[in-house]
Amino acid sequence: MTKVTVGFIGLGLMGQGMAANILKKGWPLTVMAHRNRAPVEALVADGAREVRTPREMAEGCDVIVLCVTGSPEVLAVIEGADGIAAAARPVTIVDCSTSDPSVTMKLAADLARKNITLVDAPLSRTPADAAAGTLDVMVGGVEEDLRRIRPVLECFAGRIVHTGPTGTGHTMKLLNNFLSMGYAALYSEALMLGRQAGLTPQVFDSVIRGGRMDCPFYQTFFRWVLERDPNAHKFAIRNGFKDMSYLAGFANACGAANPIGAAVRNSFAQAVGAGRGEDYVPMLSDFIAEANGLPKQE
């Protein structure tokens, strides 16, 4: 097939591995710097083209992948003065960010009137999977749009699930993160209570690991707890709080009671309020322990 030019905005922990795989699979790639120039320079050295604004990117690309923090950043990149929409070209935007589904659906409708297609395609797994090209991708959009972008998604995805119409990808991502952030809050509180009773994290792990409650998320979480590996799960607490806040907004819009979601959000809100938002999610276990008067885990 003819390989269209792909743009990529958001070369963070996940994005740099995704973009590298797009380039490696032979797609013409255009990138843009934000805060960190190192990923841009590495990609340009491998053959990518650099532009200065989203508008300039849209003027020369047919598909643009976004991997930014959330809805405010997506709106700025698309609707800003030098945003993608300002180019007035029929591009396809693939939003791999974790965004608010209600914002996504409204934005998609607004862009459709300008002949611009927005597909939500949030991600699951880790930066290591992004580099390996084995991410899980949840795609909201019509079949025809998915068929058109699937070859690009396959550059960095090991599994692609079509969730339904636009917005359902971001909804499913919030539910996925509700489960994972819920596990993080549960592990942190259970570890704290265990330590109050004199049970070490090592004893806790010896019971859970290999049993029915073991899972890959548990294993990366406990690489920090047991080995103090700061790279075990590189997802910031502030992002977990952001995602749980989106979930709370979704529940409110549905008129649904979600007491467990509220409790999980509050665990993350307390950590962010205490200045720990830049810590990675497994480090929530340290915050919960310290907040309950336990000494710092070595």
Same domain, 157 and 18: yes
Which residue among 135, 151, 166 closes a domain? 166
Kindly state the average pLDDT of the residues 6-26.
97
Query: CATH number for the domain including 146?
Result: 3.40.50.720
Same domain, 66 and 110: yes
Q: H/E element holding 273?
A: helix 259-273
Q: Which two tokens stand for residue 180?
A: 């994972």
**Within-domain flag for 296:** no
Best CA proximity match to 54, nearest among 16, 89, 106, 17: 89
How confident is the prediction for the chain on average, in pLDDT? 96
Same domain, 156 and 34: yes
- Rounded distance between C-alpha atoms, residue 205 and residue 263, angstroms: 24
Same domain, 175 and 142: no
Same domain, 162 and 180: no
Range of the domain at 106: 6-166
Same domain, 160 and 208: no
In this predicted structure, what is the pLDDT of residue 252? 93
What is the DSSP annotation of 77-94? HHHSTTSGGGG----EEE
Q: Are 166 and 106 in contact (CB under 8 A)?
A: no
Answer yes or no: is pLDDT of 48 > 70: yes
- Rounded distance between C-alpha atoms, residue 105 and residue 237, angstroms: 26
**Within-domain flag for 297:** no
Query: CATH number for the domain including 283?
Result: 1.10.1040.10
The larger pLDDT score, comparing residue 298 to residue 13, is at 13
Report the range of poorest mean pLDDT among 65-69, 83-87, 221-225, 250-254.
250-254
Q: Are 94 and 152 in contact (CB under 8 A)?
A: yes
Q: Provide the sign of the torsion angle of the four alpha carbons 251, 255, 258, 263, taken in this order.
A: positive
Number of domains in the chain: 2
Local confidence band at 33 (pLDDT 50, 70, 90 cut-offs): confident
Same domain, 154 and 214: no
Local confidence band at 58 (pLDDT 50, 70, 90 cut-offs): very high
Which residue among 112, 136, 166 closes a domain? 166
Answer yes or no: is pLDDT of 153 > 70: yes
Same domain, 160 and 274: no
Q: Which two tokens stand for residue 136?
A: 């899980």
Kindly state the average pLDDT of the residues 36-51.
95
Summarize pLDDT for 244-292 with one digit per residue, the tens: 999 999 999 899 999 999 999 999 999 999 999 999 999 999 999 999 9
Whole-structure pTM value? 0.91
Same domain, 156 and 178: no
Answer yes or no: is pLDDT of 2 > 80: no
The stretches of 213-258 forming alpha helices (DSSP H) are 216-227, 237-254
Same domain, 109 and 247: no
- Rounded distance between C-alpha atoms, residue 131 and residue 58, angstroms: 25
Same domain, 156 and 15: yes
**Within-domain flag for 142:** yes
Local confidence band at 36 (pLDDT 50, 70, 90 cut-offs): confident
Q: Which residue has the tokens 């997506």?
A: 74
Same domain, 50 and 129: yes
Q: Are 32 and 13 in contact (CB under 8 A)?
A: no
- Return the percentage of the chain with pLDDT > 90, whole number: 96
Which residues belong to the active site? 173
- Rounded distance between C-alpha atoms, residue 298 and residue 291, angstroms: 16
**Within-domain flag for 1:** no
Q: Are 247 and 258 in contact (CB under 8 A)?
A: yes
**Within-domain flag for 137:** yes
Summarize pLDDT for 109-144 with one digit per residue, the tens: 999 999 999 999 999 998 999 999 999 999 999 999
Summarize pLDDT for 178-228 with one digit per residue, the tens: 999 999 999 999 999 999 999 999 999 999 999 999 999 999 999 999 999
- Rounded distance between C-alpha atoms, residue 85 and residue 107, angstroms: 11
Local confidence band at 1 (pLDDT 50, 70, 90 cut-offs): low
Which residue among 166, 186, 209 closes a domain? 166
- Rounded distance between C-alpha atoms, residue 14 and residue 106, angstroms: 26
In this predicted structure, what is the pLDDT of residue 154? 98
Q: Which two tokens stand for residue 207?
A: 């019971």
Q: Are 196 and 220 in contact (CB under 8 A)?
A: no
